[in-house]
């Protein structure tokens, strides 16, 4: 693997698939024109709306999203992560699915979100992701690529569960994806510090695409899509408006940090 540019896209997705995909394509084009070879889209990038609406439209959302990701990858000759979209199951619920596609349009990795966001947030909002989403039951697998390094997937609320990322680093991950739709209330206190912790403790790059702004009704997301290096330094931050965070993924930096701080080699309980 040689150095390359990665992009974490930040969107304000709404309950309109075609509008969201058109916006996503604009940001993908912007990222590619700046040299990005690996592009990540946030959780719910294709549809951000009421859980019941997501469920009723899940067949169409899944079909259009997978077609879109493969088309974008081939058209722009990039690897692309769709950071979370509903895929129907026989149970009547959906899997919140992250999908990594290579530049030829082939699937590299698929992960079904394990940790579901069932939380009463202190701002008065209640979230019950499990009302429509079935939890995945398998740990994400590390995808090893010659050009982009070893990539591990996760989705949003997963970031609060360090054992998942420890597993990925133990499997050889160099890059951890954390696409999210973090709430504005929790994000202001926890988003950045959690991402930095996952990068530092695993000496990995973290790429975190994000939702931002008011998506629908009272649903407001935090923003600040980021790329963080293995030392925990923030290389790029998209702020609070839709946009793109772009930074270099440098294998020499990865080796340097792991040499200077060989904590992965010092683990006692694995």
What's the CA gap between 112 and 135, in Å, rounded? Answer: 7
Among residues 54, 66, 70, 156, the one annotated as catalytic is 156
Beta bridge partners of 115: none
Active site residue 156: yes
SS3 86: strand
Residue 97: count of CB within 10 angstroms of its CB = 22
Among residues 43, 54, 70, 143, the one annotated as catalytic is 43
SS3 115: coil
Q: How many CA atoms lie within 13 A of 67 on its CB side?
A: 9
Among residues 66, 113, 143, 204, the one annotated as catalytic is 113
Tokens 């499997």 found at: 171
- What are the tokens at 170? 């133990």
Residue 52 Cα to chain centre, angstroms: 23
What's the CA gap between 216 and 15, in Å, rounded? Answer: 7
Task: Using CB atoms within 10 Å of the CB of residue 193, give its burial: 0 to 12 exposed, 13 to 18 middle, 19+ buried.
Answer: exposed
Beta bridge partners of 250: none
- What are the tokens at 46? 């294709």
DSSP codes of every residue in 197-224? HHHHHHT-EEEE-EEEEEEETTEEEE--
Q: Which strand (E) or helix (H) includes residue 8?
A: strand 4-11
Known catalytic residues are 43, 113, 156
């Amino acid at each position: 693997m040689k150095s390359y540019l990665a992009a974490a896209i930040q969107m304000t997705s709404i309950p309109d698939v075609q509008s969201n995909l058109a916006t996503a394509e604009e940001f993908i084009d912007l990222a590619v024109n700046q040299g990005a070879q690996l592009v990540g889209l946030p959780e719910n990038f294709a549809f951000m709306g009421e859980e019941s609406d997501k469920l009723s439209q899940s067949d169409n959302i899944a079909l259009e999203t997978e077609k879109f990701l493969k088309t974008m990858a081939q058209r722009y000759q990039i690897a692309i992560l769709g950071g979370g979209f509903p895929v129907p199951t026989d149970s009547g619920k959906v899997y919140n699915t992250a999908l990594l596609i290579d530049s030829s349009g082939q699937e590299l990795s698929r992960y079904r979100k394990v940790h579901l966001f069932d939380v009463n947030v202190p701002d008065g909002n209640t979230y019950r992701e499990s009302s429509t989403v079935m939890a995945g039951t398998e740990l994400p697998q590390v995808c090893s690529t010659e050009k982009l390094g070893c990539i591990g997937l996760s989705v949003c609320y997963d970031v609060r569960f360090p054992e998942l990322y420890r597993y990925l680093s133990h499997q050889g991950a160099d890059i951890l994806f954390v696409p999210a739709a973090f709430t504005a209330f929790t994000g202001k206190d926890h988003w950045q510090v959690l991402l930095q912790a996952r990068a530092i403790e695993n000496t990995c790059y973290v790429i975190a695409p994000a939702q931002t702004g008011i998506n629908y009704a009272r649903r407001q997301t935090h923003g600040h899509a980021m790329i963080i290096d293995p030392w925990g330094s923030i290389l790029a931050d998209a702020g609070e408006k839709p946009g793109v965070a772009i930074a270099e993924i440098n294998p020499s930096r990865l080796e340097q940090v792991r040499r200077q701080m060989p904590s992965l080699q010092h683990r006692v309980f694995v």
